[in-house]
Amino acid sequence: MADDDSSTVLSDVDDDDAASASVAADSSPSISNHSDQQNLLLLAQLEDARRARDASDKALKDSESRLTRLKAFAQDVIKKRDDALRSQSDAASQRDDLSRQLHSLHSEIATLTQMLTSGMEKISGKISAYTTFPDGLPTTHKYTGLPALAYGVIKRSNDIVEELLRQVDLASKSRDQATETMEHRNYEIAIEVSQLEAKISALREDLSHKESDIEKLTGSVAQMEAELSDLRRFRDEADNKARALEAKLDSQRPLFLEQLNFLSKLHEQIHDIDKVVSLDGKSDDTEPTSSVFMSNEVDSDENLKVLLDGLKSVVELAGVAKEKVRHKMDKTNGEVKSLHEKVDALIEEKTHIGTLLRSVLSSNKSEVLQVAEEGLREAGIDLKLDGKERSSLGEAHDDEVYTLAGALGNTVKESQIKIIELQHLVEALRAESSLLKARLDAQTKEINQQKLQIKDLEVKERTANESVEGLMMDITAAEEEILRWKAAAEEEAAAGGAVEKEFQSQILALQKELEDRKQAMLELENKLKFKEETAAAAMAAREAAEKSLKLADIRSTRLRQRLEELSRQVEQSNGQGSSLAGPSGVRYACWPWQWLGLNFVRYSGQAEALESSNEMELSEPLI
């Protein structure tokens, strides 16, 4: 278009030269009529001036047409700005929708808070038999809102678990104390039994059997405790694995939510880019971000599905935006290229117009005066026009030329301003295209990263599902094993309790029997002491009797010797006293002690004293 305008301007200049040449050619045959020639010359000059004015008007019209095109382009830019403002208002409406959704989310959080509070109060009421908790959940100054609620629930759950663990520890301690008491009692019983074995040999066999039974019972109790400890350890390991998985899922849940938030923001940004880049300022209708990125805070599988769906929608929208950005960049590059061509054409036109103006201003006056002098000289009038005449002849023409030059200068200035504005617009379009390209590259990189994250999340999801399934199977198997072991332990505990009760009854019977035996032993010891004392007294009496017998033997020998002596004296007396007669003979014969010269009274006293002394000797050991 600019080339056509320049060609038209050059053709106008050529027409002016041809017209001047024709005027010069036509003036040569009309020498005869000077006035007609002068009139024709003036008419030719007027015609030239009219043509120059028409050419300037035409150039002005071309400039106005270009100005109108620039105005149209500016209107298009303003229209695009209005479209951008409209898209901004749409974004504000979407923000209002998001605020409403946030309000609904706040209401759901309040409902969740009420449910968690009531649930924890019910759980606290169930364990109120062991301990009491204050009304409401625990609070802290570090957190507010939902984290404070989570802190309260976790704190209350931790308190409940600690109380249950304390009750379990107390039960285990009481059981251990009972076991220790039983073992101590068994040890005491064993000591007592060992002491009784040393004293009572008859009960040794029974006590050995009882000790063997006790050892068997303690071995079975120890085995049961070992099995129960193994079961508890297995249960604790399963609980730790389950808590680790829950903690891992809880730690991944904020990551999922954050990724969903970033994906929603990315979706909105790409959607805004699509709106900005679209030719009509309106992008294709896509599903809203809130419906695509609606997260579920409980189910991790649903969160992963939502994340995958959101990433798919982001990838699709990014592809559409990429195509539109490429189309827009191609169009922008074409516009930039056309604007460059227009700027180059305007610059060439400016230089050409400047050269024309300079040539016109420098040579127009002298050429007109020379043509006028030659015309007069050919007419036979030798007239030299001086500077004043030349100035008077070309004054009107100079004024018109200066006005034309001023108009052209103003047009050139306006064209320069428009060129500068177009250059700024081209730079802005270049910056916008580079920014769009950079954003497109960044979005492409981010989409690639999101694809990699999708693959990683799919792998993690598969591994997590497999591990969760394996752990759930292990937990179910462990629960079944725990239930089986628990039932067996309860049965063994019941049997052990029955055996323990029987053992306690036997111990009580043994204690009663031991007390009876002790009482009998005391009685036997008393009897033995009495018998020993009686035996000692009998031995003393025997020794006394032996002594008495010895004394009696000695006395009997003495009496026998006395009797023998008396009998010999009697025989002697019979031989010598046969001649004795008288009444006293019978008396002496009847009472030999008198005949023997013994005092009856004295002898009687001595016999009584001897008898009493013998009795005293015999009774002395008894005393």
pLDDT digits (tens, 9 = 90+) for 335-361: 777 877 877 777 777 677 667 666 655
What is the structure's pLDDT at 387? 46
Q: Tell me: the pLDDT tens digits for 144-177? A: 777 777 788 788 788 888 887 888 888 778 778 8
The more confident residue out of 535 and 369 is: 535
Residue in 328, 275, 282, 320 with CA at minimum distance from that of residue 435: 328
C-alpha R_g of the chain: 73
First CA to last CA across the chain, in angstroms? 171
**3-state secondary structure at position 622:** coil
Worst-scoring range by mean pLDDT, 355-359, 418-422, 455-459, 591-595?
Answer: 591-595
Residue 422 near residue 415, CB atoms below 8 Å = no
Which residue type sits at 86? R
Residue pair 517/263 in contact (Cβ under 8 Å)? The answer is no
Confidence at residue 370, expressed as pLDDT on a 0 to 100 scale: 60
Q: Which two tokens stand for residue 245?
A: 């998985």
Average pLDDT over residues 577-587: 47
In degrees and rounded to multiples of 5, residue 591 shows phi and psi of -120, 80
Which residue has tokens 């220790």? 180
Distance in angstroms (rounded) separating the CA atoms of residues 181 and 175: 10
Query: pTM to 2 decimals?
Result: 0.27
Q: What is the pLDDT of residue 193?
A: 62
Structure tokens at 16: 């002016």
The torsion defined by the Cα of 167, 171, 177 and 183, in degrees rounded to 10, comes to -160
φ, ψ of residue 595 in degrees (nearest 5)? -70, -30
Which tens digit of pLDDT belongs to each residue from 307-341? Answer: 677 777 777 877 787 777 777 777 777 777 787 78
**Residue 42 pLDDT grade (very low, low, confident, very high; cuts 50, 70, 90):** confident
SS3 593: helix
Rounded-to-integer distance, Cα 103 and Cα 605, Å: 144
Residue 545 — pLDDT band, cuts 50, 70, 90? Answer: low
Q: How confident is the model at residue 389, as a pLDDT?
A: 45
Check whether 595 has a pLDDT greater than 50. no
For residues 393 and 372, the answer to whether their CB atoms sit within 8 Å is yes
pLDDT at 455: 75
The residue with tokens 């002596």 is 565
The most confident of the ranges 179-183, 194-198, 282-286, 450-454 is 179-183
Q: What is the average pLDDT across 106-125?
A: 80
Asked whether 499 and 217 are in contact (CB, 8 A), the reply is yes
- Per this entry, what is the length of the chain? 623
Mean pLDDT score across all residues of the chain = 69
Q: Please check the confidence at residue 245 and state whether its pLDDT lies above 70.
A: yes
